[in-house]
Structure 1
Amino acid sequence: MRKPLLLAVLLSVTAMPAMANLQLAQKNNCTACHAVDRKLVGPSYKDVAARYAGDKGAEAKMAGKIKAGGSGVWGPVPMPPNPQISDADVKALAKWVLSQK
């Protein structure tokens, strides 16, 4: 296999989980209030990742916030609960949000 083709294949495979999780966020209407790199109604995913960087319990905290909602951490606008999102999807979303740099 040629190097450029191999590189293209590797890049597409490594980008797939990120794209899938962005699509998961879009599917669950997370992107109505959040964007990757700028504040909308709620904080950007990058700001969330920066705030929780180094926090070993961040993934569980984030999953809990996604599922149960919350308020007061980022200002007066509450985040609504999302009980309809499966636990597996909540975990994937939390992990993805925290991976944003």
Structure 2
Amino acid sequence: MKIKILAAIIALGALSSFSNYESVPTGYSGKEDIQASEGELIMKKQDCATCHKIDKKVIGPSFLDIAKKYPMNDKNINYLSDKIIKGGSGVWGTIPMAAHTALKKDDAKKIAKYILSLNK
């Protein structure tokens, strides 16, 4: 069963890698807007778009759903950046999120800030 789920994730990832990644303006100004833009650029270099889209669930939740669930604060930025680096499962369903252990903590925080900035 685990092999079937893994095969499905890989197949969906391969198919979704052909889709266009859409950018959504953040709506914040000042330093947070710069970091959000940095986070978006870092995220585009990762495999995030394989499992996540801005406004619809694919394998994982949409970025907008994540932003709605977690208000923008230091606690949530740290929590989500840890999830991005370490991966995990159980919060949004049974399919685990892959770990991104090569990602620097500061870059993961910028990604988390960008995602949380989508909640307007």
Q: TM > 0.5 between the two?
A: yes
Runs of 4+ displaced beyond 6 Å: none
Asked if the contact 2:39–2:112 (Cα under 8 Å) also holds between the matched residues in 1, the reply is: no
Q: Aligned pair 1:21/2:42, yes or no? A: no
Q: Aligned pair 1:69/2:98, yes or no? A: no
- TM-score, length basis structure 2: 0.65
Question: Hey, what's the Cα distance between the residues in 1 that align with 2:105 and 2:44?
Answer: 17
Q: Aligned pair 1:83/2:101, yes or no? A: yes
Deviation at 1:72, TM superposition (A): 0.4
| Count of equivalent residues | 89
Question: Hey, what's the Cα distance between the residues in 1 that align with 2:76 and 2:37?
Answer: 22
Question: Hey, what's the Cα distance between the residues in 1 that align with 2:34 and 2:109?
Answer: 17
Asked if the contact 2:35–2:113 (Cα under 8 Å) also holds between the matched residues in 1, the reply is: no
Bigger shift: 54-63 or 86-95? 54-63
1:38-49 matches, cutoff 5 A: 38-49=56-67
Deviation at 1:25, TM superposition (A): 1.2
Distance 1:77 1:34, change over 3 A: same
Q: Match for residue 94 of structure 1? A: 112
Unaligned runs of at least 5 residues, structure 1: 1-13
Q: Deviations over 1:21-70 (max 9, x none)?
A: 33321211111111111111100111001011266511110011001001
> Which of structures 1 and 2 has the bigger CA Rg?
1
Asked if the contact 1:49–1:97 (Cα under 8 Å) also holds between the matched residues in 2, the reply is: yes
Q: Percent identity?
A: 34
Unaligned runs of at least 5 residues, structure 2: 1-29
Q: Which has the higher contact order (CA 8 A, sep 6+)?
A: 2
Distance 1:92 1:73, change over 3 A: same
Q: Match for residue 5 of structure 1? A: none
When the two chains are superposed, the root-mean-square deviation of aligned CA atoms in Å is 2.2
Task: Look up the SS of the partner of 2:100 in the other structure.
Answer: coil
